[in-house]
Amino acid sequence: RTEHMFFEEDRIAAFREMICSDTVEEREAALDKILPYQQGDFEKLYEALEGCPVTIRFLDPPLHEFVPTEEADIEKLAKAQGKSVEDIKAIIASLHEFNPMMGHRGLRLAVTYPEIAKMQTRAVIRAAINVQKAHPDWTVAPEIMIPLSCDTKELKYVKDIVVATADEEIAAAGIDMKYEVGTMIEIPRAALTAGDIAKEAEFFCFGTNDLTQMTYGFSRDDAGKFLDAYYDKKIFENDPFAKLDQVGVGQLMKMAVENGKATRPSLHCGICGEHGGDPSSVEFCHKIGLDYVSCSPFRVPIARLAAAQAAIAEMD
């Protein structure tokens, strides 16, 4: 989740510069400051994984999450940008969204600002090239995951930027390197049109937190205020954000896997989100043909045990 890498003080300053830039050239100059940090992080990631697969999700949150809120930080940013405090406050105000989780985030940012995707791709590929050269016995093959797609043309637009940038870096290095570009299936429309989206995506990862939220029409942040009434009245037996809804959300996933693999038989699929650590959810993922689950580190032992039990149950 590459956005977590932006919040350290030296990086957040450059990213805020990018957000407050007026031109493509200014944005690119700010992103050039971040690129070495991203590349260094990815190199450490590849080193830690020792040639095992690495999936890197591109920037997902809306930009308002990165702007300053304290007066002193706003003044500092204004000075760095050569703008007035009022100008910076106006930019911050313009980023406000009534429903940011359904707003300008994920690959929508890359559609608006392709230079973000270019920078992240360069960092991913340059890091992979360096680690591959340092460890010739490893197979470093990055999996670039584009979040929040809902339309094939939208995904193709961003994928084309990623592929052109990656191929340029690989050619310049004179190295043979494979990589994949896939997408997260987090929006019901993406699940419903998965056969079409698989024409561009080489893998799917179901973001079940967002997919649950958008399928139910519940806000994850607000549903806790009323879901207790649903449990008390036996309308719901479980929290749909903790235990995967197999009847609704699960059917969207099943449909997406079947239609996606009909288009691209080599398509590999997984999930990321807290459902990946719930045993019944892991069993369901196994049944519909998912290849892996991703979850919080402390839930990995539960997920591995649940996956093993699901495989054994299938043998019986």
Q: Considering the domain boundaries, does residue 293 fall inside one?
A: yes
Q: Considering the domain boundaries, does residue 97 fall inside one?
A: no
Q: Considering the domain boundaries, does residue 14 fall inside one?
A: no
Reported as a single tens digit per residue, the pLDDT across 51-107 is: 999 999 999 999 999 999 999 999 999 998 999 999 999 999 999 999 888 999 999
**Total domain count, the chain:** 1
- pTM for the whole thing? 0.94
Question: Where residue 260 sits, what CATH number does that domain have?
Answer: 3.20.20.60
Instruction: Give the residues across from 271 on adjacent strands.
Output: 206, 293
Round to whole Å and give the CA distance between 93 and 188: 30
Tell me if residue 147 falls in helix, strand or coil: coil
Q: Considering the domain boundaries, does residue 210 fall inside one?
A: yes
Q: Considering the domain boundaries, does residue 204 fall inside one?
A: yes
Q: Considering the domain boundaries, does residue 116 fall inside one?
A: no
Give residue 200's domain range: 186-316
What pLDDT sits at residue 198?
A: 98
Give the pLDDT mean for 194-223.
Answer: 95
Q: What average pLDDT does the chain have?
A: 94
| The pLDDT of residue 315 is above 90 | no
Q: Considering the domain boundaries, does residue 254 fall inside one?
A: yes
Reported as a single tens digit per residue, the pLDDT across 5-63 is: 888 887 899 999 999 999 999 999 999 999 999 999 999 999 999 999 999 999 999 99
| The pLDDT of residue 125 is above 80 | yes
Reported as a single tens digit per residue, the pLDDT across 239-276 is: 999 999 999 999 999 999 999 999 999 999 999 878 88
Round to whole Å and give the CA distance between 61 and 74: 20
Q: Considering the domain boundaries, does residue 302 fall inside one?
A: yes
Reported as a single tens digit per residue, the pLDDT across 175-191 is: 999 999 999 999 999 99
Q: Which strands form 143-146's sheet, in the order they lie side by side? A: 55-57, 143-146, 180-185, 203-207, 268-272, 292-294
